[in-house]
């Protein structure tokens, strides 16, 4: 069991590193919002500097800049995959 968990963690780290290699630059905010929409998230409201997206379980603030830092984009996508969409 521990070996399987370690293998899953190593595989996830490798995938993150692959994503980081692909996403070497800042990510377009619209691309990030499109990816979150594909994962079942929707825009709850717009604030002054942030758009608040939710999937019915969790909320995430996305900066309303043209470009979003790659590390922040990865964090947001990781959180979106961690909290699956609420069943209606």
5-46 per-position pLDDT tens digit: 444 444 565 666 565 555 456 789 999 999 999 989 999 999
On whether residue 6 sits in a domain, the answer given is no
Comparison of pLDDT for 80 and 4, the residue scoring more:
80
On whether residue 11 sits in a domain, the answer given is no
Write out the residue range of the structural domain in which residue 40 sits. Answer: 26-82
The domain that holds 59 is classified in CATH as 3.30.920.30
Tokens, residue 26: 């800042």
Question: Tell me, what's the pLDDT at 6?
Answer: 42
CA distances from 50 to 2, 16, 40, 44, 87 (A): 40, 25, 19, 11, 26
Handedness of CA 42, 44, 46, 52 (dihedral sign): negative
């Amino acid at each position: 069991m521990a070996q399987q968990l370690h293998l899953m963690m190593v595989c996830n780290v490798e995938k993150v590193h692959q994503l980081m290699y692909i996403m070497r630059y800042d990510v377009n905010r619209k691309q990030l919002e499109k990816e979150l929409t594909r994962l079942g998230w929707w825009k709850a409201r717009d604030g002054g500097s942030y758009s608040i997206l939710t999937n019915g379980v969790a909320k995430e603030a996305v900066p309303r800049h043209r470009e979003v830092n790659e590390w922040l984009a990865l964090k947001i996508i990781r959180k979106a995959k961690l909290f699956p969409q609420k069943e209606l």
